[in-house]
Chain A
Amino acid sequence: MAMVLLAGGFLLPAQDNEKKEEDLKNPHEGKAEAVEAGRKQFLNSCSGCHGPNAEGGRGPRLLKSGVVRGSSNRQLFTLIKDGVKGSDMPPTKAPDEKIWEMVSFVKNLNAPAYEANASGNAESGGKLFHGKAGCAGCHAIAGKGGVIGPDLTNAGMSRSYANLRESLLQPSERPSEGYLGVTVTLRDGKKISGIAKNNTNYSIQVMDRQSKLYLLNKLEVSEIVFKKSSLMPEDFGKRLSKAEIDDVLAYVSRQVERVPVPGGEAGAKEQ
């Protein structure tokens, strides 16, 4: 089987071959207990290289990984079973059933949050989001909320649960593009604070908290100070109880533009 080298040295069977074969079915598909069993195996056998939270280390990152998201069951199963020749990824002697549990875990790391069966209480989470936790001060859902943080109306589909959790508890790990905090000093001394929607050597586009846009030519700018950390407070892990965190995550995970339905149609037509 032909292999292709992807970002991060992650080897996968070539897509062309894959198209010719029907994908394998994971016997544990949709089973939360298989995800949990896979997680335990992962901690024992895989986390040494891939990191305890699958964030990557000697081996590639598996969390929020486009490569994993784009991989078929067959590709992931084969990779775990056979390992990757010429790399540190060894084959495994684990029975197929156990391998499928690992596939379930890795896939779940990257599944949309909506499908991750979040355990918290979404209703309580909604009250926290729009109330005491203060999330809506910066984030909007269906037009309700602030503008200084990413819109979360479709967060349940556009992000994985793990990603949402990380964003809530360690927001500076991976700040969202277009939401970097910035203060721009103009040549006349005026200061503009907000988020940098774009920045080049020749222009910068800044939005302030009132959603006012400043389209600035660098000729009129004397200094730019970016905030190193995310504008999102770092202390939600302390401000909220464990249950409240789960509730907020459950609420955000339920936010989808469209409730997903299996199937659908494809194709394009010129009209």
Chain B
Amino acid sequence: MRVKQFAVVAAMMAAGAMPAQVRYEDILKGPSGNWLTYAGDYAGQRHSPLKQITTANANQMTAKWVHHVENAKRLECVPLVYDGIMYVTDSNLVIALDARTGRKIWQYKAEQVKRQDINRGVALLGDRVYFATSDAHLVALDRKTGGLLWSKPYADTKKGYFATVAPFAAKNLIVVGVSGGDSGMRGFVAAYKADSGEEAWRIYTIPARGEPGSESWGDLTLDWGGGGTWLSGTYDPALNSLFWTTGNPWPDFYGGDRKGDNLYSDSLLSLDVDTGKMKWYFQFTPNDVWDWDAQAWPVLIDMPVNGKMRKVVLHANRNGFFYVLDRVTGEYLRATPYVEKLSWAKGIDAKGRPILIPGQEPTPGGKVACPSVRGASNWMSPSYSPATGLLYVPTLEQCDVYTSSSKHPEPMKGFAGTGAESVPSEPGKFYMRALDPKTGAKKWDYPMTGDASSWAGTVSTAGGVLFFGDDDGQMVALDSKDGRHLWHFNTGQRLTASPITYEVAGKQYVAIATATDVMAFGLFEPAPSVPLVKERIED
């Protein structure tokens, strides 16, 4: 009976029960058995309709397979899954795996790249896999074979750029961003035609001299202002708007050479996906001196605000405030603190600007301020469950000692205007925090043991289960309604990536990249005895 079942599944897969290509329309539908884009869907909710694993049976979960990535030290990719194949990345490396067994099907290595930076994953579109090398080449691979189609440089490492971004695919475009803002560069977002790799548009996050916003910088810092674009984006197809976050102004910890708001650093940008034209921007931390990149995930939901349904974007920012913006206009609607350790601002005013508390800026001797340089949250993915109406945010309660230097900044020399370190007597603590977007209130909290070194995100499911990696290297399942513990598994490794969930051949899996491996979990089933199959070698 079991054999027959397997044969049917194999026949279905072989017969092409799935369309041969990852179509834009498929990504638009959001997650199903597949996980086709970084956050599962364009709205960035990381919520799956799968419900084989439920609050009632999650306690029967077990590891299904582990794929070791050779030479890996710190995997940060979000695996994508299509038609039974999983695509994962490391630095300059893409691997396609059988998503049921973790066995490798192909791998592509960009051998000639001199840099080795972390990588956050691939984009899928058509019959291609897209990813960015550490030295900022956009690479297109044949999805079935891993064969190289083209590799095009989109940013120059000699100008301070590198890349960690998971490319973003929509329509016939692949959108990428750049890293390097901690050492001076000029951030941009760029879109490339998916077929040819030809550049469709590029928008800089730091204005050129004379452009609006350029007055919010100093002379040198305008050319090297940072505003990195290293996290992938979310997208509203009805508005044709792409939502992309920008990083810190440079130098990170000293604002004296860049008096002004430093547009468009630490901002959320709404871009026309076809042209890259900026529709609006919202800056969270003007003249930031704490390195609070806005690279937290913009989550798109529709919800009532003052009795009227609004299309909003949720953003749990590094600076400790949880923002709600109108995503059509960029209008500021509300911000509420979501951490207790928050010392730099009393609140956010009616226009969305922080009400600063004086004396919180870094000093040459060091000033304790909160949140920490890693932020109240960071790029690790939150998730939103339409069933509970809650946003699940990996949250860090921590302060840091921030130091600054007025030394003349030299770009591309690793100078950030100095930095931040933890307060030894006050270790940070991670929480899985459920926030109610309608009020900004905390609904429940799940404290984690650990040394505050986690960079792991979340995925939520229609089975009512919230999965995430905790601060002790454990995969954890909670009841998304109330944060009740359901299951955990010690991966034995630090977790620095966000989990996904997918289905192959009628079975739901949850997968996460650990430091050196990719692991998949599912419900326990007694293993069938597999008879040895006769193998012969013939001429």
Contacts and interface: CB of A to CB of B under 8 A. Distances in A.
Interface centre among A190, A207, A269 (most CB of B within 10 A): A269
Contacts, number: 166
A143 B142 contact: yes
Given A202-B101, A270-B118, A153 B157 contact: no
Given A223-B533, A228-B538, A269-B117, A215 B84 contact: yes
Given A198-B103, A221-B533, A187 B16 contact: no
B536 A178 contact: no
Most chain A CB within 10 A, of B146, B162, B164, B530, is at B530
Contacts of B114: 264-266
B150 A142 contact: yes
Contacts of A11: none
Contacts of A258: 112, 137, 151
Contacts of B105: 178, 197-198, 205, 207, 213
A212 B14 CA distance: 7
B385 to A, nearest CB: 29
Interface string A180-222: 0000001110101000011011110101000111111111111
B534 A269 contact: no
B100 interface: yes
Given A257-B148, A269-B182, A224 B533 contact: yes
Interface residues of B, number: 62
B111 A158 contact: yes
A197 B181 CA distance: 41
Given A178-B106, A260-B112, A268-B117, A151 B10 contact: no
B10 A214 contact: yes
B145 A140 contact: yes
Given A140-B147, A266-B114, A271 B13 contact: no
B448 interface: no
B111 A147 contact: no
Interface stretch (B1-9, B323-331, B334-342, B394-402): B1-9
Contacts of B532: 201
A231 to B, nearest CB: 12
Most A CB atoms within 10 A — which of B3, B112, B135, B181? B112
A242 interface: no
Interface string B407-427: 000000000000000000000
B472 interface: no
B534 A222 contact: yes
Interface in B421-444: none
A6 interface: no
A202 B110 CA distance: 31
Given A205-B98, A213-B105, A215-B100, A188 B536 contact: no
Given A143-B142, A203-B103, A258-B112, A271 B147 contact: no
B247 A271 contact: yes
Contacts of B151: 257-258
Nearest to B179: A271
B118 A226 contact: no
Contacts of B72: none
B148 A142 contact: yes
A258 B150 CA distance: 10
B163 to A, nearest CB: 10
Nearest to B455: A270
B112 A228 contact: no
Interface in B1-42: 2-3, 6-7, 10-11, 13-14, 16
A94 interface: no
B148 A269 contact: no
B180 A187 contact: no
A143 B149 CA distance: 5
Contacts of B146: 151
B534 A223 contact: yes
A131 B416 CA distance: 56
A217 B112 contact: no
A87 B13 CA distance: 56
Contacts of B84: 213, 215
B13 A266 contact: no
A157 B7 contact: no
A153 to B, nearest CB: 4
Interface in B515-539: 528, 530-539
B230 interface: yes
Given A200-B103, A203-B101, A265-B158, 11 more contacts: A147-B145, A157-B111, A197-B105, A203-B103, A212-B14, A215-B13, A215-B84, A218-B531, A258-B112, A266-B115, A271-B181
13 contacts: A205-B105, A211-B145, A213-B105, A214-B14, A215-B84, A217-B10, A218-B533, A219-B528, A228-B537, A264-B114, A265-B157, A265-B158, A268-B115
Q: Give me the 5 closest cross-chain CB pairs, A-B, nearest first.
A: A151-B147, A264-B114, A153-B148, A271-B179, A198-B103
